[in-house]
Structure 1
Amino acid sequence: MSAHTDPIEMLTSDRSWELLGTQELGRLVTHVGETIDIFPVNYVVDGEGILFRTAPGSKLFELTVNTDVLFEVDDHTDTDAWSVIIRGYATALEADADVQRAEAAGLRPWIPTVKRVYVRIAPTSVSGRAFRRSAEPELDGPQEY
């Protein structure tokens, strides 16, 4: 966090990507018609994109109907927290060269299921915020920020 007293800090794109690289679990948000779903997925940062594995099912079906997605990752300590949101589009990798490159990323499922489909999220925007955690300020009187 920066030295100023504002409890919320907007993160740069570089810092957001740096933080994304420290985690393994994110939340994929899909939207088909009037149905919005959220799926936890383990992932790796792949250049300036996100790579995850999946199997045939509702998640993969929804990505074939509408490739527009959100992807969110966060973390916290007792004193700080952060959140990064990626807006982008998700594409199942089909070309042999793309799949081989994805396999080299070392991404493994967290649960004992077969997930042979690699999906890459190509970002159209990345936004991140960091938060300084502390007690709620007094409701009356001047505020620090």
Structure 2
Amino acid sequence: MSAPQAVQELTADACWSLMRSTTVGRLAVWLDDHPDIFPLNFVVDQGTVVFRTGEGTKVAGISGTPVALEADGLDEATGEAWSVVVRGRAHSITEQHDVMDTADLPLHPWQGGRKDRFVRITPDVISGRRFAVADPSVWRTGLDHRSAATD
């Protein structure tokens, strides 16, 4: 097996730049007695992350507890992947002038339906890493080459 590839820890500026390059992430929240995770569309806005949603489980999960939003990507040309995590507090945007400013952001949820609630995550911490994607052959084992007769 070849030597493991180095992982590059990213600066906050590099993390924000990568977050601005995508619109899809996963929001992790605490619900009752367990964690849950939701895919969503988001946009970076002045050092925060904003998404829109409808009433429901996500909104219930953001009230008063820390959240995390993770986004990642792959640069096929270089063979490098990246992952960024924003940890902080989320709050519904309710002030009329804030709602008006937020309504102009390019937030385009993939799923239809009523999504009239805007939520802003104010980060306490942003962290990320970049690394070369391992060749799939690195993970092959003797079991990968079993014949159909042994299945």
**TM-score (normalised: structure 2):** 0.82
Amino acid aligned to 2:38:
F
1:116 is matched with 116
1:86 aligns with 2:89: no
Aligned length: 132
Q: Distance in 2 between matches of 1:43 and 1:118?
A: 10
2:101 is matched with 101
Query: Structure 1: 5+ residue runs without aligned partners?
Result: 138-145
Would you say the 8 A contact 1:80–1:130 is kept in 2?
yes
Moved more, 17-26 or 101-110: 101-110
Write 1 or 2 for the structure with the bigger share of helix. 2
Compute the displacement of 1:112 (Å): 1.7
1:55 is matched with 54
Q: Name the SS for the 2:99 alignment partner.
A: helix
Q: Distance in 2 between matches of 1:33 and 1:109?
A: 26
Q: Distance in 2 between matches of 1:133 and 1:52?
A: 29
Would you say the 8 A contact 1:7–1:133 is kept in 2?
no
Q: Name the SS for the 1:111 alignment partner.
A: coil
Would you say the 8 A contact 1:50–1:121 is kept in 2?
yes
The 4+ residue runs of structure 1 with deviation greater than 6 A are none
2:143 is matched with none
Would you say the 8 A contact 1:30–1:68 is kept in 2?
yes
Query: Structure 2: 5+ residue runs without aligned partners?
Result: 140-151
Would you say the 8 A contact 2:86–2:127 is kept in 1?
yes
- Please identify the structure whose Cα radius of gyration is greater: 2
Q: Distance in 2 between matches of 1:7 and 1:77?
A: 16
1:70 is matched with 68
Compute the displacement of 1:108 (Å): 2.2
Q: Distance in 2 between matches of 1:6 and 1:61?
A: 40
Would you say the 8 A contact 2:31–2:60 is kept in 1?
no
Q: Distance in 2 between matches of 1:16 and 1:89?
A: 18
Work out the percentage of aligned pairs sharing the same amino acid: 35
